Amino acid sequence: MILLVISDLHIDTGKKLGTFGWKAKAFMSTLDKVIEHYGVDQVILNGDIFDLYKYSYNEIAEVNAKIIDYFNQKGFIQLRGNHDIWVPHTHDHFYIKNSEGKTIHIEHGHKADFLNGTRIGRFISVTMYLFLKWLVRFRWVERKFYSAVDYFDDVNRIPRKYNTIKYLMYALKLLKKYDMVILGHTHKLESHKVYYLNSKKIYLNCGTCSLGRFQAVVVDTESFDFETIKIPRKSEFDVSQLPIFKKKKGN
């Protein structure tokens, strides 16, 4: 089975503080081309599909009805991230075991954080964000907040404090149990092959599809071959140029 994993789209209302940065039609057609190119059987939306920190799901759904229908019609599996933990029909994680008994575990990855992953931490952050949601109606407060907590960098507005080593450590913990782990959340596309506990293990991070970018990982669940995909922003990119893994014989 060929899996395509994407995450961190942060689909919003496209108004204030827009993070998705895609026209729905362009995004869907790019995704369709990638699916066709790799012969993808199942797409997994690995969390932070929507950005519910500043808008309600209904506000977002109203503007993005087409793309939400598209996700549902195509049968994409939707996993919960910290920004869309309350969205209906989402799952905590995805798990698959191949014919050789090798296992793949996919989750968003925010459980590695104190603020997102623990009960008390979530209470603090939800309270904080409810307050922030009210505060950002004042533009200057919003600017002050982001410069004070250093949340986004000036150009890409990626949370600066994301320490990818932390998520690598978290992935290693999961790799005690699974053969391959795929996380998102960090907005940083990564792939690591390690020999660990006497076997080959793989940690992948599917990066982000926010701010008009398209990053993903594609995995063959039988052969464990994978590719990381990065499509340049705002260009007429020929998807057929993307590297494709060699499929094993008889697969």
Q: 112, 75, 78: which is closest to 92 by C-alpha?
A: 78
Nearer to Mn ion, 167 or 224 (CB): 167
Nearer to Mn ion, 51 or 179 (CB): 51
Is 81 a residue that touches Mn ion (CB under 5 A)? yes
Nearer to Mn ion, 123 or 162 (CB): 162
3-state secondary structure 122-148: HHHHHHHHHHHHHHCCCHHHHHHHHHH
Is 113 a residue that touches Mn ion (CB under 5 A)? no
Q: Where does this chain touch Mn ion (CB under 5 A) — which range of 32-40, 70-78, 105-113, 174-182?
A: 105-113
Nearest approach, Cβ of 81 to Mn ion (angstroms)?
Answer: 4
How many Å apart are CA 174 and CA 16, to the nearest integer? 37
Nearest approach, Cβ of 203 to Mn ion (angstroms)?
Answer: 17
Cα angle value 39/41/46 (rounded, 5°) = 115
Nearest approach, Cβ of 2 to Mn ion (angstroms)?
Answer: 25
Under rule CB under 5 A, which residues in 122-181 are in contact with Mn ion?
Answer: none
Structure tokens at 196: 């660990």
| 86-93, long-range: CB < 8 A, 24+ apart | 86/52, 86/57, 87/49, 87/50, 87/52, 87/57, 90/49
Nearest approach, Cβ of 156 to Mn ion (angstroms)?
Answer: 15
Site string for Mn ion, 176-195 (x = CB under 5 A): ---------x----------
Q: Count the helix, strand and coil residues of the chain and give each as a percent rounded to the nearest 5.
A: 30, 25, 45
Site string for Mn ion, 36-65 (x = CB under 5 A): ------------x-----------------
Is 82 a residue that touches Mn ion (CB under 5 A)? yes
Give the sign of the dihedral formed by CA 135, CA 137, CA 139, CA 142. Answer: positive
Nearest approach, Cβ of 82 to Mn ion (angstroms)?
Answer: 5
Q: Which residues of the shown chain bind Mn ion in the complex (CB under 5 A)?
A: 48, 81-82, 110, 185
